[in-house]
Amino acid sequence: MAAMPINRFSSAALVALVLGLSVTAGAGPSRASDSWSELKGAIFGDRAIADDRVVELEAPSRATDPAVVPVVIRLAEDAAIKQVTLIVDENPAPVAATFTLGPDTGIRSIETRLRVNAYSNVRAVAETADGALHESVVYVKASGGCAAPAARNPAEAASTLGEMRLRRLVEAANGQTQEAQLMIRHPNNSGLQRDQVTHLYIPAHFVSDLEVRLDDKPFLSMSGGISISEDPNFRFRYDGPEGVFRVIASDTEGQTFAKVFSPGEG
Beta bridge partners of 261: 245
Share of the chain above pLDDT 70, in %: 85
pLDDT in tens, 248-258: 999 999 999 99
Read off the pLDDT band of 170 (50, 70, 90): confident
DSSP element (H, E) containing 123: strand 120-128
More confident residue, 241 or 217: 217
Give whole-number Cα distances, 205 to 15, 16, 26, 62, 196, in Å.
Answer: 19, 19, 27, 27, 17
Output the pTM of the full model: 0.86
Fill in the DSSP letter of residue 119: S
pLDDT in tens, 28-86: 443 445 789 999 999 999 999 999 999 999 999 999 999 999 999 999 988 999 999 99
Tell me the pLDDT of the chain averaged across its residues. 87
Burial 50-69 (b: 16+ CB within 10 A, else e): eeeebbbbebbeebebbbbb
